[in-house]
Amino acid sequence: MRDVTDPDYTVGIVGAGVMGQGIAQVTLAGGMRAIIFDAKDGAAAAGQAEVFKRIDRLVEKDRLSAADADTQKARLSVAASLADFAGCDTVVEAVVEKLEVKRQIFGDLEDIVAENAILATNTSSLPIASIARTCRVPGRVAGMHFFNPVPLMRLVEIIEGPATDPAVAAQLSELGKRMGRTPVSVKDSPGFLVNLGGRAYYTEALRLLDEGVATPSQIDAILTDCCGFRMGPFALMDLTGMDVNYPVSMIVYEGFLNDRRLATTPRHKLLYEAGRLGRKTKAGHFDYDEAGKNVTPSDADYAPSGAPASKVVCAEAPDEPDALFALCQAVGLEILEDDDGTSPIIGYPVGDDATSYALELGIDPKRLVAVDVSADTAKRVTLMTAPGADPAHLDAVAAAIVASGRAVTAIKDSPGFVALRMRAAIANLGCAIAEAGLATPSDIDLALKLGLNYPMGPLEMAGELGLETTLVVMELLQEITGDDRYRPALWLRRRALLGLPIHTPS
């Protein structure tokens, strides 16, 4: 294999679509030569023209000099056929996600490129093992999964199949760095790292919706305002499209032999089959106008109709540093030392639903208003009540919070509210990935932050919540729902019980 720092290092790209164009652009930016091919007549030339336009825009924005732009353009050529890839050091395939098509391309390439050339696939879901299976030299086949748009998304997953030579994976990591990407090493598995680790964000939100806990607008508002996610899960599903995220969800679910942790919901399938794909069809979880703006009225903000409460009873004796106590102080609620029998009772059930919490503590469920203080309450506060609760108490507590300048989202009864439950599920799946050894704990966190713009990685999320808290939430979710979906990962359980940091290696 030629040293990746060689000035004449050449990358062939099969497929001149959006991904192929992006891979070509970052190859050029890394000072290498790129050759692009597409089986469709004229597509490679059109792809080359698009890359040139993007380079010209960088010049217009003063992000690239005209001289450097000319140098980059001179390094990109169009192949008339795969035979033009004979001198390539690495070839990256970026065509349709069909196994037989990819196998045919790799078989053809093996007859063309040098024996020491690397063959990489940009597949997002097909196993590397399946693609390499029919190759004469499977050791030189690996995954090099970029993210769209390639020039802006810094992450690249380097995936080792069972037969991949470690030197090949190491070379691709160095190639990714030269392209200006941040490589993470991943073992071959359904969905690899990002598409696997990202399932919890979508599917747990869909589960909350399925249970009637909250609406898409409410869940999105809680995740963005309280947890720091850039987009809520429903807005994000609509952006990527149900034609993308539903099939990927099923590939990952079936690839892991129907593991309940990865199951999606009937509603997800229904939207996909109905053609409500999201922004691209102007209808998904939300409705959109011609400009792609969400025009569905939001029901995220609860509008209380009664007077604000001035005093409350705490379900459990508060300590001054307690987050619930601090919130009461911030919104001007006096905490009574003794129950007066009429004021709202507030509490923070960690992982429990309001029903179980009231019964365990022997308090009046009609007066209980559960408050989620696991996340940031500066903008929005989530309140939850048990079935049959007196709405006057919810109104009174909500009115006091709204008067302080905060928004309130009122949800139905749920173990773990929304924010706590979502983050625990994300953290638990990240721990399961670490447990399986698919990637290092640090790479798991890095990949989810770079690939999905998470505010922190899933293992970091467990650390932020507290390992004991995360474990308790998962245990109670499994106990209350009876669903194996919530079984705690052994990686999480062992470190929580031993009092070890979440990134402690096995």
C-alpha pair distances (Å), 360 with each of 356, 364, 371, 470:
6, 11, 17, 20
> Nearest CA to 394 among 294, 303, 298?
303
Which residues are catalytic, by number?
A: 124, 145, 157, 195
> Nearest CA to 258 among 269, 249, 245?
249
Provide the CA 296 distance to its chain's centre, in angstroms: 24
Length of the chain: 506
Number of C-beta neighbours around residue 65 at 10 A = 11
Helix ranges (H only) for 256-319 are: 266-274
Q: How far apart are CA 185 and CA 192, in angstroms?
A: 10
Amino acid at 487: R
C-alpha pair distances (Å), 459 with each of 196, 253, 259, 439, 442:
14, 21, 20, 12, 8
Q: How far apart are CA 224 and CA 231, in angstroms?
A: 6
Q: How far apart are CA 264 and CA 273, in angstroms?
A: 14
List of residues 6+ apart from 37 with CB closer than 8 A: 12, 13, 14, 15, 16, 44, 78, 79, 81, 82, 84, 85
> Nearest CA to 344 among 307, 293, 290, 380?
307
CB 229 within 8 A of CB 223: yes
List of residues 6+ apart from 19 with CB closer than 8 A: 94, 122, 146, 148, 150
> Nearest CA to 452 among 122, 208, 229?
229
CB 29 within 8 A of CB 6: no
C-alpha pair distances (Å), 65 with each of 51, 71, 72:
16, 10, 11
Q: Which two tokens stand for residue 383?
A: 């309140």
Q: How far apart are CA 325 and CA 315, in angstroms?
A: 12
Q: What is the helix (H) or strand (E) element at residue 162, kind and residue range?
A: none
Q: Which two tokens stand for residue 501?
A: 């940091």
